[in-house]
Amino acid sequence: MNPHRLAQLLGLEQNAYSFRYNQTPKLKDALEKAGRDFRSDVVTVPTEGMMQAIIEASVGDDIYDPEGDASVNTLQNKLVELSGKEAALWTLSGTMGNQICLRTHLTQPPHTVLLDHRAHVQCWESGALPVFSQAAVTQVHPQNGVHLTLEDVKRNIIADGNIHFPPTRVVSLENTLSGTILPLKDAKEISEFVRSFPVSADQRPIAMHLDGARLFDAVVAEGVDLKEYCACFDSISFCLAKGVGAPMGSVIVGNKRFIERAKWFRKMFGGGTRQPGMMAAAASAALDQTLSRLPVVHAMTASVAKELETMGYKFALPVQTNMIVLDLEVVGIPPAAFVGYCKNNLIAVFPNGRLVFHHQTSQDGTLRLLKALRQLMSDKEAGIHLIDDRVAGGYS
């Protein structure tokens, strides 16, 4: 067969290596849909730059090849540089990254993880913590109603010595949590206290872990240094499928000894992969292309929140980054009605009232959202019956 014809059949012509959205109508349609999807910031689709990075990625084996995969190494090195930590490890998801970190810190029960009662590692990871780490949890309700403080940790940390209570071995924090920021000042105060907390002579100091799924949003919004923030923690899990919009994957960071041990648990949890370079390359491109857009996303979120406030909506939490959490109960709006009015305007939402903005949220999407919620509030105030059927839907 003619080599040129064979290349055509296999899709190996030169122009096949240059990605364009207009070549893939399904992806173009998905981009339009993402613009009006407020369920989460994981609903984005790859940009042209991410797709091009996938095409050009290395295809090594991250387990068999002693040096690892080149694209994975590039991504890991990028997170090392950004975080200021010694080493990094690619994982398939935020849940996997968090649970690997906690399992690596924890050794032999009895042990307890202290965390916010809403923490993703406890509430939204399918009960992985007690299964993989045999750990009890101390669920803390922040006294200020927004984020944990040093006083919250002091009141709830469990010391060695009382056989009735498994001692605290990890303090796991989260930033952002439902869009709210754990300020650098509080992270520093908690870290200094926890790391100096007295433990038995045969025990390591209590570890500090951060679920940093949306840490980039947090440090950009607070205007603090990422490395300074990361210095408060022994391990951090960055979910790259959230704020920066990668197709999938997370990276965990820590010191070299920690990451070397974490590799065993990644393998144990089913995270050894073949040719992960394509997804790592897309994540690396996402970091390069979308981090700079976070201030725009936050400004858009604040603008919509202001409009909703004028309509009479109330917020369950402060609007600080890319999320608005409506208190539907306090304004008497059933979750089913909230979902239904949005659906009628081609808007996707979860029934809990959380609205999440991202770098592909469109002007059309925000206008449709405001139209739906304006009509909903107007009908509620006019005494029109609102559907109150049972609706389901989770979020992360």
User: Is residue 339 in some structural domain?
Assistant: yes
Examine the fold and report which residue of 273, 289, 305 is the final residue of a domain before the chain moves on: 289
Q: What is the predicted pLDDT for the residue at 10?
A: 44
Contacts of 81 (CB under 8 A, 6+ apart): none
Helix and strand numbers (H, E) in the chain are: 16, 9
User: Is residue 193 in some structural domain?
Assistant: yes
* Same domain membership, residue 247 and residue 101: yes
pLDDT tens string, the chain, 396 residues long: the values are 454 444 454 444 444 467 887 778 888 899 999 999 999 999 999 999 999 999 999 999 888 888 999 999 999 999 999 999 999 999 999 999 999 999 999 999 999 999 999 999 999 999 999 999 999 999 999 999 999 999 999 999 999 999 999 999 999 999 999 999 999 999 999 999 999 999 998 899 999 999 999 999 999 999 999 999 999 999 999 999 998 999 999 999 999 999 999 999 999 999 998 999 999 999 999 999 999 999 999 999 999 999 999 999 999 999 999 999 999 999 999 999 999 999 999 999 999 999 999 999 999 999 999 999 999 999 999 999 999 988 877 666
Examine the fold and report which residue of 244, 262, 289 is the final residue of a domain before the chain moves on: 289
* Same domain membership, residue 284 and residue 340: no
* Same domain membership, residue 109 and residue 84: yes
Q: What is the predicted pLDDT for the residue at 15?
A: 45
188: left (phi over 0), alpha (psi -120 to 50) or beta: alpha
Q: Residue 127 sits in which domain range?
A: 57-289
* Same domain membership, residue 316 and residue 262: no
* Same domain membership, residue 187 and residue 174: yes
Contact yes or no for 173/118 (Cβ under 8 A): no
Q: What is the predicted pLDDT for the residue at 1?
A: 46
* Same domain membership, residue 106 and residue 224: yes
* Same domain membership, residue 120 and residue 231: yes
Q: What is the predicted pLDDT for the residue at 12?
A: 42
Q: What is the predicted pLDDT for the residue at 25?
A: 87
State the Cα torsion 373-375-379-381 to the nearest 10°.
60
* Same domain membership, residue 299 and residue 283: no
Q: What is the predicted pLDDT for the residue at 14?
A: 43
Domain count, the chain: 2
* Same domain membership, residue 229 and residue 360: no
CA 59 to chain centre: 26
Tokens of 306: 């202001």
The pTM of this model reads 0.93
User: Is residue 9 in some structural domain?
Assistant: no
User: Is residue 278 in some structural domain?
Assistant: yes
Examine the fold and report which residue of 289, 319, 335 is the final residue of a domain before the chain moves on: 289
CA 78 to chain centre: 18
Q: What is the predicted pLDDT for the residue at 231?
A: 98
How far apart are alpha carbons 286 and 51 in whole angstroms?
10
Q: What is the predicted pLDDT for the residue at 396?
A: 61
Phi, psi of 238 (to 5 degrees): -100, 120
**Burial of 204: CB neighbours in 10 Å, binned 0-12, 13-18, 19+:** exposed
User: Is residue 90 in some structural domain?
Assistant: yes
User: Is residue 204 in some structural domain?
Assistant: yes
* Same domain membership, residue 304 and residue 220: no
How far apart are alpha carbons 139 and 112 in whole angstroms?
10
